[in-house]
Amino acid sequence: MRPLQRLTRKARPDRDPQLAHYLEQTFPTADAVLLCSFGVDQHGERSIRELQRALLDAGFASQTTGHLIRCSPLLHRSGRRRYTIGSPP
């Protein structure tokens, strides 16, 4: 098990090697995991906890899951910390 690393709010990709690794991927694996977490219900909503759990199960570091969810171009925040796939209605 990897030792925990603390991230501050001002963490930048050039200072965090884990986050920089995810941003350099040509095909964003995080977006594929987030898309698969919706399953066959592509029009449904998922909570941030459900999306974080999917990323953690796929092997992403717990410190970066929130950032990957907030920055994903696939997801739209619909309110009450719920996310849907696609652009805002």
Q: Note whether residue 18 is domain-resident.
A: no
CB 86 within 8 A of CB 76: yes
Is it the case that residue 84 has pLDDT exceeding 80? Answer: yes
Q: Note whether residue 36 is domain-resident.
A: yes
Number of structural domains, the chain? Answer: 1
Q: Note whether residue 65 is domain-resident.
A: yes
Q: Note whether residue 6 is domain-resident.
A: no
Q: For residue range 14-28, what is the model confidence (pLDDT) as tens digits?
A: 555 565 665 666 557
Q: Note whether residue 21 is domain-resident.
A: no
% of the chain with per-residue pLDDT over 90: 22
> Where residue 60 sits, what CATH number does that domain have?
1.10.10
